[in-house]
């Protein structure tokens, strides 16, 4: 084996990894001088900028400003708009009044319509909503402008809906799907979303049936950077989903595609979801989906996109979106096992394979899996001990999270190299047997339990080809073997990053295990490397370098601010008040109010929050004069053995939200502001009854039906997000290296009142 071929093969392997990431999304973006009929990211950015000036959640002042902006931009393209307004009970009992913006480009034919979908509200209360979902609004506005600039008419109607109150409970989507006259005729939805501020837009199919027709048409529409795979599709199908598109699928059996970017999750729902931080190439990627799909599906027959059959699909450089039916899974698996066994027997006959050697070959592979598995599993808890501030990052993905992924990936590589170095007397042909066996076992398991992941067989086939070469040639061409590692590197390396990015750093174990599994598939090449010890050392040094980089970025700066929280809670029944926070690691700003005097709360009510976060600490506070809500009892009558009660809550100050908890166990019926809540919800609900995101200090009218002798006890929390701007308080401004913690009621003044009937 010539020295330079070792170096060259290593470069090829590294190049393939690099390529696999480069090919996921555009690496530059279109400028303002792009032709009028093309999507321009720079033009789209002007919309993002206009939308993301202020938080624009339901009930906020900027909410209407953003709506007016979108309407006027639509009018500029010559489209008529319609506003749909109404209360819905929302997902998770989040009542709110949504105001949807709806428009239509009339088609020349009479087929089903294509729907372009995104939401324009931002998340309460601090998010600027540049990515979520300003990017979606901008993508659609710029896309239809480009589409209409040619003056051509589409064959299918193109309906465009900018929903409202998505962030609260998908209320706008519920309102549209269940009440709008156009729902009946929709054939397909393209939904644009964001769960971070960068990275590739991931295509996720949403369907009640199989995906085969959707995938075939998607591949035929030929977007430039198709990014998505059936593993995510299968996982997504098993989890409870909550995008606007889910409402279309569940309530109206309408399917479609989500295009959502999920990188830089730490910006999600925070004030850092701003114009500057939205990755320009990400916006380009969203546009690069919309344009070809808009042209394609505005002509395609949208009546027959339903199917019972599922397809495997995965994005691969050069080949774009590889796809084939689920029915191929078993034959491919059987062929792979047969080829493997035949080659194995053939190798024994040829005396290339020795059983003891094979056994020894299992050692470094299994040990690597075990050690890297343990390191990956305990990695995140260990980091939280080193850096307690990470507890307050509710996203579970820190600003330096990408460095940590690199640390653990290189550490895994180092462990593999050093263990394989201990077994360097084992011939390469015997080393490949362990990883191939484990891969085929994994492929067999996913063929049963997680069919969408069955594209894992593709790298295994390439591994079998290498196995064949190794049996037949004692001095194989290392370059050829490196090329046979491409399927493993192209398909699997982005997944090393995707798992912790998608599911949080707590899933680091997926990254370390996958790194070992990929390493195993590279043994046909790496087995020939003489200096494994040196390579192990090099990998450790690189891991260490990334760890130092992560440490340098572990502090809090205006670019990487620490999320914190502060609330003032006034108990109107006891006449006492206290400060409260969710923070585990208390910073100087919070400690002005909750410091030495902090106590553990005995708080029963947890306000609606994404991760069910409760107060960590409270402290006594000086009483301020805060107006209580007026609670008026209306009728209270017994009808057919049931007690019917009406209560109206009227705010006496500027509020954003009302959370109502009920100690009453059995509630047979609930209606709030005329909107009934489902029986299923009332059965499964626990302490919380509902919450109402209040627009314009609207009243909350509650009608309850309970068993005749049931006592009613409601705990009402009236919430205003004005703690920092309220005249009665003089809270110093938040330091620049902190931001309001997302996903929880924060920067708020709360009034608690118990109401018994
Ligand atoms: Zn969103």
DSSP 79-139: --EEEEEEEE--GGGEEEEEEEEEEEE--SS-SPEEEEEEE-PPPTTT---IIIIIIHHHH
Q: How far is the CA of 479 from the centre of ligand 1 (A)?
A: 46
> End-to-end distance of the chain based on CA atoms, in angstroms?
87
pLDDT of residue 95: 93
Structural contact between residues 621 and 577, judged by C-beta atoms closer than 8 angstroms: yes
Q: How far is the CA of 269 from the centre of ligand 1 (A)?
A: 9
Residue 732 CB-density burial (10 A; 0-12 exposed, 13-18 middle, 19+ buried)? exposed
Regarding pTM above 0.85, the answer is yes
DSSP state of 632: E
CA distance 307 to 218: 14
CA distance 711 to 656: 29
Beta strand pairing call for 113-119 and 186-194:
parallel
Q: Which helix (H) or strand (E) holds 481?
A: helix 478-484
Q: How far is the CA of 451 from the centre of ligand 1 (A)?
A: 29
CA distance 693 to 170: 13
pLDDT of residue 304: 87
Q: How far is the CA of 134 from the centre of ligand 1 (A)?
A: 9
CA 546, 548, 549, 553 torsion-angle sign: positive
Q: How far is the CA of 290 from the centre of ligand 1 (A)?
A: 17
Q: How far is the CA of 172 from the centre of ligand 1 (A)?
A: 12
Backbone angles phi, psi at 688, to 5 degrees: -70, 140
Closest by CA position to 515, among listed 488, 483, 482, 546: 488
Distance of CA 459 to the CA centre of its chain: 27
pLDDT of residue 107: 97
Q: How far is the CA of 360 from the centre of ligand 1 (A)?
A: 52
- Ranges of residues in the chain with a pLDDT under 70 are 1-2, 603-605, 608-611
Q: How far is the CA of 56 from the centre of ligand 1 (A)?
A: 12
pLDDT of residue 242: 83
Please write the tens of the pLDDT for every residue from 504-514: 999 999 999 99
Q: How far is the CA of 167 from the centre of ligand 1 (A)?
A: 6
Backbone angles phi, psi at 62, to 5 degrees: -75, -10
Name the region of 426 (left: φ>0; alpha: ψ -120 to 50; beta: rest).
beta
Non-local CB neighbours of 250 within 8 Å, separated by 6+ positions? none
Number of Cβ within 10 Å of residue 465's Cβ equals 17
pLDDT of residue 204: 96
Closest by CA position to 453, among listed 263, 238, 223, 286: 238
User: Cis omega (within 30 of 0) on the bond before 609?
Assistant: no
CA distance 200 to 283: 9
Q: How far is the CA of 183 from the centre of ligand 1 (A)?
A: 21
Q: Take residue 604 and report the two structure tokens written for it.
A: 């029963």
Q: How far is the CA of 681 from the centre of ligand 1 (A)?
A: 24
Structural contact between residues 106 and 148, judged by C-beta atoms closer than 8 angstroms: no
Q: How far is the CA of 264 from the centre of ligand 1 (A)?
A: 14
Beta strand pairing call for 94-105 and 688-693:
parallel
Q: How far is the CA of 748 from the centre of ligand 1 (A)?
A: 23
Please write the tens of the pLDDT for every residue from 562-606: 999 999 999 999 999 999 999 999 999 999 999 888 998 876 667
Q: How far is the CA of 17 from the centre of ligand 1 (A)?
A: 31
Q: How far is the CA of 193 from the centre of ligand 1 (A)?
A: 5
Q: How far is the CA of 194 from the centre of ligand 1 (A)?
A: 6
Q: How far is the CA of 566 from the centre of ligand 1 (A)?
A: 25
Q: Take residue 688 and report the two structure tokens written for it.
A: 């919380």
Q: How far is the CA of 131 from the centre of ligand 1 (A)?
A: 8
Q: How far is the CA of 162 from the centre of ligand 1 (A)?
A: 11
SS3 of residue 298 by DSSP: coil
SS3 of residue 699 by DSSP: coil
pLDDT of residue 601: 86
Q: How far is the CA of 120 from the centre of ligand 1 (A)?
A: 8
Distance of CA 656 to the CA centre of its chain: 26
CA 620, 623, 627, 632 torsion-angle sign: positive
Residue 54 CB-density burial (10 A; 0-12 exposed, 13-18 middle, 19+ buried)? middle
Q: How far is the CA of 430 from the centre of ligand 1 (A)?
A: 51
- Helix 61-76 to helix 41-51 angle (10° resolution) is 150
Q: How far is the CA of 164 from the centre of ligand 1 (A)?
A: 10
CA distance 629 to 572: 10
DSSP state of 308: S
pLDDT of residue 321: 97
CA distance 335 to 353: 21
């Amino acid at each position: 084996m010539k020295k330079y071929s070792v170096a060259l093969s290593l470069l090829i392997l590294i190049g393939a990894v690099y390529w696999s990431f480069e090919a996921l999304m555009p690496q530059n973006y279109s400028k303002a001088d792009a032709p009028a009929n093309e999507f321009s990211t720079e033009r789209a950015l002007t919309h993002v900028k206009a939308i993301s000036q202020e938080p624009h959640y339901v009930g906020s002042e900027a909410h209407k400003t953003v709506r007016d902006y979108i309407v006027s931009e639509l009018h500029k393209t010559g489209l008529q708009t319609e506003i749909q307004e109404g209360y819905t009970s929302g997902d998770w009992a989040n009542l709110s009044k949504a105001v949807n913006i709806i428009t239509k480009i009339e088609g020349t034919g009479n087929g089903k319509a294509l729907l372009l979908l995104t939401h324009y509200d931002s998340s309460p209360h601090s998010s600027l909503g540049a990515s979520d979902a300003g990017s979606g609004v901008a993508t659609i506005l710029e896309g239809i402008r480009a589409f209409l600039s040619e003056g051509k008419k589409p064959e299918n109607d193109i309906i465009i809906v900018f929903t409202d109150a998505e962030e609260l409970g998908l209320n706008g989507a519920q309102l549209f799907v269940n009440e709008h006259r156009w729902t009946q005729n929709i054939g397909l939805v393209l939904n644009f979303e964001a769960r971070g501020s960068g990275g590739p837009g991931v295509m996720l199919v949403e369907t009640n049936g199989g995906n085969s027709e959707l995938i075939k048409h998607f591949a035929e529409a030929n977007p430039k950077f198709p990014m998505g795979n059936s593993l995510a599709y299968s996982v997504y199908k098993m989890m409870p989903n909550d995008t606007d598109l889910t409402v279309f699928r569940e309530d109206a059996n309408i399917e479609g595609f989500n295009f959502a970017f999920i990188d830089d999750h730490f910006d999600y729902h925070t004030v850092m979801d701003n114009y500057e931080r939205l990755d320009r190439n990400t916006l380009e990627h969203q546009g690069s989906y919309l344009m070809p799909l808009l042209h394609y599906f505005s002509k395609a027959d949208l009546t027959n996109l339903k199917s019972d059959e599922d397809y495997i699909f995965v994005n691969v450089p050069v080949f774009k979106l590889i796809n084939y039916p689920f029915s191929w899974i078993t034959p491919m698996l059987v062929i792979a096992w047969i080829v493997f066994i035949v080659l194995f027997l053939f190798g024994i006959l040829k005396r290339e394979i020795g059983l003891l050697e094979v056994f020894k070959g299992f050692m470094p592979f299994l040990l690597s899996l075990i050690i890297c598995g343990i390191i990956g599993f305990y990695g995140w808890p260990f980091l939280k001990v080193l850096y307690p501030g990470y507890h307050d990052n509710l996203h579970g993905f820190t600003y330096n999270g990408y460095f940590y992924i690199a640390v653990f990936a290189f550490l895994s590589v180092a462990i593999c190299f050093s263990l394989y170095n201990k077994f360097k007397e084992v011939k390469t042909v015997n080393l490949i047997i362990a990883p191939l066996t484990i891969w085929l076992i994994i492929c067999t398991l996913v063929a049963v339990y997680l069919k969408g992941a069955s594209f894992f067989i593709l790298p295994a086939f390439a591994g079998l080809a290498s196995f064949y070469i190794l049996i037949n040639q004692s001095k194989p061409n290392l370059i050829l073997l490196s090329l046979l590692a491409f399927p493993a590197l192209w398909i699997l390396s982005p997944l090393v990053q995707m798992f912790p990015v998608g599911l949080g750093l707590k899933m680091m174990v997926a990254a370390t295990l996958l790194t070992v599994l990929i390493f195993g598939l590279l043994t046909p090449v790496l087995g020939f490397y003489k200096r494994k010890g040196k390579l192990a050392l090099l990998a450790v040094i690189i891991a260490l370098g990334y760890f130092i980089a992560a440490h340098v970025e572990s502090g809090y700066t205006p670019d990487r601010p620490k999320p914190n929280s502060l609330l003032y809670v006034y108990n109107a029944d006891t006449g006492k008040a206290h400060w409260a926070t969710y923070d585990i690691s208390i910073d100087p700003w919070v400690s002005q109010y909750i410091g030495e005097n902090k106590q553990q709360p005995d708080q029963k009510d947890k306000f609606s929050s994404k991760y069910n976060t409760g107060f960590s600490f409270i402290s006594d506070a000086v009483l301020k004069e805060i107006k209580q809500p007026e609670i008026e009892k209306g009728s209270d009558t017994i009808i057919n053995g049931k007690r019917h009660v009406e209560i109206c809550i009227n705010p006496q100050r500027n509020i954003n939200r009302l959370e109502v908890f009920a100690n009453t166990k059995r509630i047979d019926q609930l209606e709030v502001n005329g909107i009934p809540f489902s029986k299923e919800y009332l059965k499964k609900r626990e302490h919380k009854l509902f919450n109402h995101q209040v627009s314009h200090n609207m009243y909350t009218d509650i009608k309850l039906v309970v068993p005749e002798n049931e006592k009613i006890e409601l705990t009402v929390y009236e919430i205003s997000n004005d703690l920092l701007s309220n005249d009665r308080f003089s809270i110093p401004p938040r330091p620049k290296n902190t931001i309001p913690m997302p996903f929880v009621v924060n920067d708020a003044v709360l009034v608690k009142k118990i109401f018994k009937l």
